[in-house]
């Protein structure tokens, strides 16, 4: 049987053409891109599929042809065989390597853009509440109710997640490509609910929510996790985003974890950049570059004390030092009494308990 390829139909439907030799490329999505520069629809010329991670518009060669030409999807193959003059098998059927056909298609959805994630997460959090045990936990760190509200911390929803997703969709928010959301076995959008805990918005320099972290209840190891729906149908994997709180001051502290950063900033007014861990520095360089261009002159690193003793942490710390050196940002290290595990404990102790 003759195989009709994406490359066969692209000239027929008048969409932008791929660059020579490209195996995939992006074009404006006909379903959701309203900005002139939006290019969310990804066309894969190797697998002959297309997908928009933002709105979920996806399919194969015949779907794309039917959409643009107005031909009924059922007749698309016949129509194309005629238009391309392939009815008598004029072209040797393109052979697809067997291995490729057997490979399971990834069920994950590529991550959507920052603005879309920010809007969806903001709306999601506005519908959730903060449980009293979580509120107390945050008050114990020195935050006030006003600060907590400003930060947008909420308790994970443990019931009603499909209803929540339905409400978001009906109000025009995109769930496709937003980590945490996925399709359940009934084919409905829903939000992940593996663990109860505090949801922490992870924001960029404009205060936009890039992703969410979860502080899990009742665990002592790996307490903080990214909210991710990787491995679920149409789910998305979180990236290791950085979290910046406060303006680009002359001195900015780097620490581990967004909650710690929020607490330090709230209690001291000192701007803090949080990295998700010293071993995941991939988004850090861009944020440091932004800070440097906007007036930051030095960096103080303040990680949990175990970087002094844990060899893996020490390696990550060396990588961080080399990024800072490359950017020409002088840096120093806050050292404090190892009895205080992190800087937020230290700040709390010294600002509020000493002499009071």
Q: Which residues bind Zn ion (CB under 5 A)?
A: 29, 31-32, 40, 52, 54-55, 57
CB of 177 to Zn ion, least distance (A): 10
Q: Is the dihedral of CA 275, 278, 284, 290 positive or negative?
A: positive
C-beta of 57 vs 191, nearer to Zn ion: 57
Question: Crossing angle for the helix pair 311-327 and 284-293, nearest 10 degrees?
Answer: 40
CB of 64 to Zn ion, least distance (A): 13
C-beta of 68 vs 290, nearer to Zn ion: 68
The partner residues of 254 in beta bridges, in order of sequence, read 273, 301
C-beta of 51 vs 260, nearer to Zn ion: 51
CB of 104 to Zn ion, least distance (A): 24
d(CA 252, CA 271): 5
3-state secondary structure 161-197: HHHHHHHHHHCCCCCCCCCCEEECCCCCEEECCCCCE
Establish how many alpha carbons lie within 13 A of residue 127's alpha carbon, considering only the half-sphere containing its beta carbon. 18
CB of 316 to Zn ion, least distance (A): 37
C-beta of 26 vs 217, nearer to Zn ion: 26
111 sits in which H/E element? none
CB of 351 to Zn ion, least distance (A): 48
CB of 176 to Zn ion, least distance (A): 8
How many angstroms separate the first and last alpha carbons of the chain? Answer: 83
- The token pair that represents 324 in the structure block: 């800072």
C-beta of 54 vs 232, nearer to Zn ion: 54
């Amino acid at each position: 049987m003759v195989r009709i390829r994406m490359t066969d139909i692209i000239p027929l439907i008048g969409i932008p053409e791929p660059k020579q030799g490209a195996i995939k490329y992006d074009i404006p999505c006909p379903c959701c891109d309203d900005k002139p520069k939006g290019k969310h629809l990804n066309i894969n010329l190797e697998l002959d599929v297309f997908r928009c991670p933002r709105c979920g518009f996806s399919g194969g060669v015949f779907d794309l042809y039917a959409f643009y030409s107005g031909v009924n999807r059922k007749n698309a193959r016949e129509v194309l065989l005629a238009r391309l003059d392939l009815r008598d098998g004029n072209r040797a059927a393109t052979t697809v390597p067997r291995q490729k056909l057997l490979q399971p298609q990834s069920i994950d959805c590529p991550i959507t853009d920052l603005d879309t994630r920010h809007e969806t997460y903001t709306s999601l959090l506005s519908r959730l509440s903060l449980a009293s045990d979580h509120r107390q936990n945050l008050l114990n760190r020195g935050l006030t109710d006003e600060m907590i509200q400003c930060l947008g911390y909420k308790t994970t929803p443990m019931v009603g997640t499909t209803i929540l997703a339905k409400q978001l969709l009906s109000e025009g928010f995109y769930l496709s490509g937003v980590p945490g959301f996925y399709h359940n076995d009934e084919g409905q959008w829903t939000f992940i609910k593996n663990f109860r805990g505090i949801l922490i918005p992870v924001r960029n320099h404009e205060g936009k929510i890039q992703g969410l972290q979860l502080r899990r209840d009742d665990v002592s190891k790996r307490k903080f996790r990214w909210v991710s729906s990787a491995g679920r149908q149409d789910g998305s994997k979180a990236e290791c985003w950085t979290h910046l709180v406060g303006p680009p001051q002359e001195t900015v502290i780097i620490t581990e974890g967004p909650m710690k950063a929020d607490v330090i900033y709230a209690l001291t007014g000192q701007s803090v950049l949080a990295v998700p861990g010293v071993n995941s520095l991939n988004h850090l360089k861009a944020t440091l570059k932004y800070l440097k261009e906007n007036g930051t002159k030095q960096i103080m690193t303040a990680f949990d004390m175990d970087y002094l003793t844990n060899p893996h942490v020490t390696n990550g710390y060396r990588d961080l030092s080399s990024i800072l050196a490359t950017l020409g940002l002088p840096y120093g290290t806050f050292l404090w009494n190892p009895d205080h595990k992190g800087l937020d404990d230290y700040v709390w102790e010294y600002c509020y308990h000493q002499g009071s």
